[in-house]
Amino acid sequence: MRTERLLFAPWTEADWLALKPIATDPEVMRYISGGQPWPDDRIQEFVRRQIDGLRLHGYCMWQLLEASGGSMIGFCGLQPLAGTGDVEIGWWLARSHWGRGLATEAAHSLAGWLQARRSRPHRSHRPAAEPGVDTGDGKAGHAVRKANKTQGL
């Protein structure tokens, strides 16, 4: 998936190092952990969860790479909400990239991706790979509605 300025990419375990400067920036972490930087093991665990999530559900918090140069500048995507059955959309961007509409651009792209899955005529070839994605009125629909509401789409 790509937008004018962004590429959505899957993770490899080594990518935790690219996330580290973002996950240890107190401003980025302000509403995540009260400004506390994540320790290395937590960042590594997050990345592993995205790798597993993509395999299990067909979605994750994808890395966001700059379409121009390929640098990793954050992530955007979906994750199951523990205990609720809902799926939430999330974003973190490196502070140097805030305020340029990139989160909005990523959310638009994600909403389009979900829409495309919903309108796909044949879903039976991938049911086991995406048990958590109800692209009708359920979980993924909830994420789209939430994204639309949050991002004013």
Ligand X SMILES: CC(C)(COP(=O)(O)OP(=O)(O)OC[C@H]1O[C@@H](n2cnc3c(N)ncnc32)[C@H](O)[C@@H]1OP(=O)(O)O)[C@@H](O)C(=O)NCCC(=O)NCCS
Give the footprint of ligand X on this chain (CB under 6 A): 28, 31-32, 90-93, 98-104, 152
Of the two residues 16 and 92, which places its CB atom closer to ligand X in the complex? Answer: 92
On whether the CB atoms of residues 93 and 102 are closer than 8 A, the answer is: yes
Residue 38 CB, shortest distance to ligand X, in Å, is 12
Of the two residues 27 and 128, which places its CB atom closer to ligand X in the complex? Answer: 27
Q: At a CB cut-off of 8 Å and minimum separation 6, what does 139 contact?
A: 80, 85, 86, 87, 132, 133
Rounded to 5 degrees, φ, ψ at 66 are -65, 130
Residue 65 CB, shortest distance to ligand X, in Å, is 15
User: CA separation (Å) from 73 to 8, 22, 31, 116, 132?
Assistant: 11, 8, 18, 25, 27
Of the two residues 35 and 131, which places its CB atom closer to ligand X in the complex? Answer: 35
Residue 109 CB, shortest distance to ligand X, in Å, is 12
Of the two residues 80 and 118, which places its CB atom closer to ligand X in the complex? Answer: 80
Residue 52 CB, shortest distance to ligand X, in Å, is 19
- DSSP assignment, residue 2? B
